[in-house]
Amino acid sequence: MTSLRPYLLWFAIALLLAFAAIRGVQWMRDHPEHFPDARFELAHPQGWATHGKLVALASDDAACFAAFDRVDAGYLRRPAVGEGACRASQRMILTGNRLVPTMRPANAAPGCAVTAAMALWTRDVVQPAAERHFGQDVVELENLGSYNCRTIAGSAAQSEHSTANAIDISAFVLADGTRITLINDWQPGDRRSEFLHAVRDGSCGLFSTVLSPDHNAAHADHFHFDMAARTAGWTVCR
């Protein structure tokens, strides 16, 4: 009997490892948002791999638009514009407000990857913050545009706006018509400011870049969001 003990021990260890592997596979199947190789889905919750998947969509037009097709999201795909570093091939306009509040002006046409990030941002950041602070939804987003072939101010680097891989949001309009603007409501003092700061903080890590009025004077009137691809996937939030 003594000679069997090592074998019984190894058998027990093998059973435990097999059980752990089965549970691990099951957990991976149930939580695809945490795994880079799992297909991005707009319906998935945010996970460890969400940001990386969104960045990858910015360079994969077919995969990005397919994600919207799978949830039957109405959209207009706009023609590609520009050349070289200023070519934007993912420009789109959502035709409903199910995923993102109505955009004003409506013709901003941010890239597909940015729009996908905005859908998660609306669901997980904007509407929960609006409900907490005002007890109602945001129904419109005022923007300062998406596509603009230019370099970053004060830099030789190309802006993410050059490929429509960015959007600038200047105001939020609530269901009762209340308008909350970055230029007038950012400074601390009331729940409008608290809402805007909550939106900024909740956006960090979802978008590659989040710039607010705290960043510099050039952003005093808007949030800048983009899905830039960076080494090791690092993000900026200011």
Q: How far apart are CA 143 and CA 105, in angstroms?
A: 7
pLDDT at 154: 81
Residues of the chain with pLDDT under 50: 20, 27
CB 134 within 8 A of CB 174: yes
Q: How far apart are CA 204 and CA 237, in angstroms?
A: 6
pLDDT at 31: 80
Q: Which amino acid is at 177?
A: G
pLDDT at 149: 96
Q: Over the chain, what HEC string results?
A: CHHHHHHHHHHHHHHHHHHHHHHHHHHHHHCHHHCCCCCCCCCCCCCCCHHHHHHHHCCCHHHHHHHHHHCCCCEEECCCECCHHHCECCCEEECCCCCCCEEECCCCCCCHHHHHHHHHHHHHHHHHHHHHHHCCCEEEEEEEECCCCCECCCCCCECHHHHCCEEEEEEEEECCCCEEEHHHHCCCCCHHHHHHHHHHHHHECCECEEECCCCCHHHCCCEEEECCCCHHHCCEEC
pLDDT at 156: 87
pLDDT at 11: 62
pLDDT at 3: 67
Say which residues have a Cβ less than 8 Å from residue 152's Cβ, sequence separation at least 6.
158, 159
What percent of the chain lies above the pLDDT cut of 90? 83
Predicted model pTM: 0.90
CB 51 within 8 A of CB 233: yes
Q: What is the pLDDT of residues 106-147, one digit of tens each?
A: 999 999 999 999 999 999 999 999 999 999 999 999 999 999
Say which residues have a Cβ less than 8 Å from residue 145's Cβ, sequence separation at least 6.
108, 161, 167, 168
